[in-house]
Amino acid sequence: MTATARRKPLLSRVPADFVRAVLKGHSSLGLAFAAIIYLVCLTGSIAVFVHEFQRWESAGAPRLTTVSPEALQRALEAAIARVGGGVEHAYINLPTPDLPQARISVEKDHVQHGWIFDAAGNLVAPGDAPFSEFLTRLHINLHIPGSWGTFIVGLTGVALLSSLISGLLAHPRIFRDAFHLRLGGSRRLQEADLHNRIGIWALPFHVIVSLTGALLGLTTIIVGVLGMALFQGDTAKVYALFIPQAPKEDPRPAPIIDLRPMFPVVDRVAPGGLTDLILLEHPAEMGGAAMFNVQREDTHLSNYDAYAFDRTGKLYHRARSSENNLGERILGSIGKLHFGWFGGGAVKIAYALLGLGLTYLAAGGVTIWLARRRDKRNPAPGLERLWAATVWSQPVALATTTLTTAVALGGISKQALIMIWAVVTLIVLFSALRVEATALSLWLKRAAGVVLIATALIHMLRFAPADPVIWSVDISLFACGGVLLWLTRRAVLRPMPAVSQ
């Protein structure tokens, strides 16, 4: 080996054929999963702000900092009365700095009914947040029923993780090129630079979200296999290692469980803690139970204690976050790490920006492949149109659902939003049969921009919200619309040439 060869960086010594083979795999995988990775990443980037969107959707609801146990008990009794008893579960969300509202939902015959309640415990508004629910479920399971949707999203996380591995291996000039960003030249070079720079500098974020997302999506199947291999098929035994056992089932009717005596106990065992969720099992049966999730004021990522009471107020289970083992700490951190809910607004904004970068990575990969085909005198105009429609249909479809929510606040359901999203997406995809890719991108950007600006203006004028967070959501929607319109400012519609633009 010569002295020059010895000085070459390690990655530069990777054989060219190996790099090309890995690149082939990277390209195949990217093409197979690009559309779904794009959708999951785009919705995930927006879902970082789901609490802010929940506030935006309930603009007129009372803002609270605390709720008294008496008010909470009154709200529970009122909610159970509204559905006429027979409640299997109830969930009470108490005010937090992120979401300063008190919400209760009760489950009867597997249907949930929710309300927002005020400081006196009166149910004052519907508790549904259809847009937030629509958005998060689109991210989590693509609105596909059963476990299939979650599995597909988990598989997408694995494909993303795999693409990160192959992308790294296929990039021997990773350090030499770390700051190269050439814009405005050939389309392929520009997109490749953007793809590689975002891919490298945001790599830790990409690994975190794809790994946690894959684990969250594959939980059902992983637990199923663990149960089958290790517990003779009993998956409940796997869950029992992490979730407190409910008291022995006793379906005899009983007065509604009294939560008030439990609060002093929680205050005593978790001083300074903030109860933000109470889960109730069979609140009007003798076998009823209540579990308090208490957020501790410490610097741990996993900082929730769990205290469970039977209906007599006896504390039968306690799990302090400070006493958790590594597995329990990892479990308590995964959701926060995935959505960026562990460092306040700054981390949320960083996550949204990096998430949009990941979204661009997915979209740009296909653009590079299409540009490469064009450079090789083998263009695929049909696929270019389809990809432009796929990418730009989503901002338009999602913006349309926000506009619908702003116009019909309180009068729209999640199912209606799913229909609107699906119809807009299909219309745009079918338009790719006739409309050229550049024109399609241009008009869809403009449409999404206009709809977002209209959403922000309508929402602001309709509610004149007092909550600064709601204002910031409206301003962000307006700004996103403005950016989309700005991107089209110098666009000139030219038909795509047969080989090269």
d(CA 460, CA 59): 10
Smallest distance from other proteins to CB 297, Å: 12
Contact 394, 42 (CB under 8 A): yes
Residue 226 or 466 with smaller CB distance to other proteins: 226
**Least distance (Å) between residue 291 CB and other proteins:** 18
- Closer of 140 and 447 to other proteins (Cβ): 140
* Smallest distance, other proteins to C-beta of residue 125, A: 31
User: Exposed/middle/buried for 215, CB within 10 Å: 0-12, 13-18, 19+?
Assistant: middle
And the tokens for 102?
Answer: 């008190």
Q: Which is nearer to other proteins, 73 or 96 (CB)?
A: 96
Tokens of 402: 């926000």
CB of 153 to other proteins, least distance (A): 12
Crossing angle of helices 16-47 and 130-141, rounded to 10° = 160
CB 321 within 8 A of CB 300: yes
**Tokens for 367?**
């653009």
Side-chain-side CA neighbours of residue 468 (13 Å): 2
In sequence order, the β-bridge partners of residue 449 are none
Task: Tell me which H or E stretch contains 122.
Answer: none
Closer to other proteins by CB, 185 or 251: give it. Answer: 185
State in angstroms the smallest separation of the CB of 12 from other proteins. Answer: 12
Is 268 or 325 the residue whose CB approaches other proteins more closely?
A: 325
Nearest to 283 by CA among 248, 314, 251, 315: 251
Q: Which is nearer to other proteins, 176 or 260 (CB)?
A: 176
CA 497, distance to chain mean position in Å, is 39
Whole-number minimum distance, CB 26 to other proteins, in Å? 8
User: How far apart are the C-alpha atoms of 428 and 197, rounded to whole Å?
Assistant: 31
Nearer to other proteins, 340 or 481 (CB): 340
As measured in angstroms, the least distance from the Cβ of 426 to other proteins is: 27
Taking the complex as a whole, the smallest distance from the CB of residue 327 to other proteins amounts, in Å, to 3
d(CA 32, CA 434): 24
Name the residue among 134, 138, 116, 136 with its Cα closest to residue 126.
116
CA atoms within 13 A on the CB side of 400: 21
Which of residues 35 and 169 has its CB atom nearest to other proteins in the complex?
A: 169
Q: Where are the alpha helices (DSSP H) in 84-175?
A: 130-141, 148-169
Q: Is 408 helix (H, G, I), strand (E, B) or coil?
A: coil
* Minimum CB distance to other proteins smaller for 108 or for 187: 187
Q: Of 144 and 226, which has the nearer Cβ to other proteins? A: 226
Helix, strand, or coil here: 426? helix
Least spacing, CB of residue 326 vs other proteins, in Å: 4
Say how far residue 45 (Cα) sits from the centre of its chain: 7
- Closest distance of CB 481 from other proteins, Å: 22
Write down the least CB distance from residue 177 to other proteins, Å. Answer: 9
Which residues on adjacent β-strands are paired with residue 253?
285
Contacts of 421 (CB under 8 A, 6+ apart): 134, 138, 397, 398, 400, 401
Comparison of 170 and 290: residue with beta carbon closer to other proteins: 170
What's the 3-state SS for 232-285?
Answer: CCCHHHHHHCCCCCCCCCCCCECCCCCCCCHHHHHHHHCCCCEEEEEEEECCCE
Please say which residue, 199 or 395, places its beta carbon nearer to other proteins: 199
CB of 444 to other proteins, least distance (A): 23
